[in-house]
Structure 1
Amino acid sequence: MAGMDPESTKTHVCLLGHSYIRRLAEFMTVNPNLQNLNLNDDRYNISVCAKGGGNDIGFIPNKQIVTNIVSFAEYLIYGLGTRVVIIGQLLRRDPSANPPGYNESVTEVNDLLTQKHRH
């Protein structure tokens, strides 16, 4: 579109979550050929990446984790004007490296998030 600022036509993405970002940074360091995650720079501007809730499992109730995730998404939309917020599923972990019941809690949180999405 003639006369438009190229930045205004890009899709901006914000990803959050300390361990996820740390791993993404390590991956990008050893894979420099995947600059901007190999997405078209003219269309996508990836700044940061988000995943949350996994480190809270076992410390706060699963329903509270879901409430926190949904509240944060609503803040991004209604408080900051973010047009699109995608809530991804929590990821299971190696059972031998996590507290008993961790993966069962992940499944419950993911199910609760899915139920919230349907309402």
Structure 2
Amino acid sequence: MASGLGVCIIGHSYIRRLKEYCSSKGIINLKLDDSFNVNFHGKGGLRLQGNFFYFISPPDIMFLQVGENDISDLTCCEKLNGDLISVAAYLRDGVGVKMVVIGQMIRRLPFAACKSFNDKVVKTNTQLELRTQSLPGFHFWRHRGFWHDLSYLGSDGVHLCCTPSHDQPMRKFLRSIRNAVIQSLNLLRPV
């Protein structure tokens, strides 16, 4: 693995809670080896319009888990897609991030979101995946294990279930982001 590979994970409350979970379990660097330098920057309620560029020097890989908090206000998913691609392009071209990974947006329980929220999430994810396929330095990451049903959500209907007796959804989310970082490293390496 590359020496001193910088990884920045940015996003809304999912990332803040993931950081807290890792800290409480003594998990360092997403369980990656010491050649990785992983930093988390999560803020509850984070939207794309918010200033979430906390880093001083550009990381090699940046994972973005954003967009869910923006969906409710939109009538058009194309606007959110354009905004996400613009932010990712700025990070790649303006900041110098080598690989920007956009995490798949995650659905919510119907009582916890607007009526069309989950339909918009699915449509936005589909469009983002198509748009990023041909863009160098971008990667759309599909979170595995969050699409069969909504049992991974806690009682608030929004956040991943993470209680002392049931932390499987958070462990799954951690593994997903870890795998995204590993896959991104492989994409960065010359063939």
TM-score range, shorter chain: 0.7 to 0.9
Does residue 37 (structure 1) correspond to residue 37 (structure 2)? The answer is no
Higher relative contact order (CA 8 A, sep 6+): 1
Percentage identity across paired residues of the two chains: 35
Inter-partner Cα distance in structure 1 for 2:73 and 2:98: 31
* Aligned residues of 2:5 and 2:36 also touching (Cα < 8 A): yes
Higher strand residue share: 2
* Aligned residues of 2:77 and 2:123 also touching (Cα < 8 A): yes
Does residue 11 (structure 1) correspond to residue 11 (structure 2)? The answer is no
Does residue 89 (structure 1) correspond to residue 108 (structure 2)? The answer is no
Inter-partner Cα distance in structure 2 for 1:65 and 1:105: 10
Higher helix residue share: 1
Q: CA deviation at 1:85?
A: 1.0
SS at match of 1:90: coil
Does residue 57 (structure 1) correspond to residue 89 (structure 2)? The answer is no
Root mean square deviation of aligned Cα: 1.7
* Aligned residues of 1:20 and 1:50 also touching (Cα < 8 A): no
Q: CA deviation at 1:29?
A: 3.2
Inter-partner Cα distance in structure 1 for 2:124 and 2:110: 17
Inter-partner Cα distance in structure 1 for 2:96 and 2:30: 25
Size of the alignment, in residue pairs? Answer: 110
Q: CA deviation at 1:62?
A: 1.2
- TM-score of the aligned structures, taking structure 1 as reference length: 0.82
* Aligned residues of 2:64 and 2:100 also touching (Cα < 8 A): no
* Aligned residues of 1:14 and 1:47 also touching (Cα < 8 A): yes
Q: CA deviation at 1:20?
A: 2.0
Mark the structure with the bigger radius of gyration.
Answer: 1
Equivalent residue for 1:109, pick from 115, 124, 128: 124
Inter-partner Cα distance in structure 1 for 2:122 and 2:102: 15
Inter-partner Cα distance in structure 1 for 2:131 and 2:101: 13
Residue number in structure 1 paired with 2:45: none
Inter-partner Cα distance in structure 1 for 2:88 and 2:123: 19
* Runs of 4+ off more than 3 Å: none
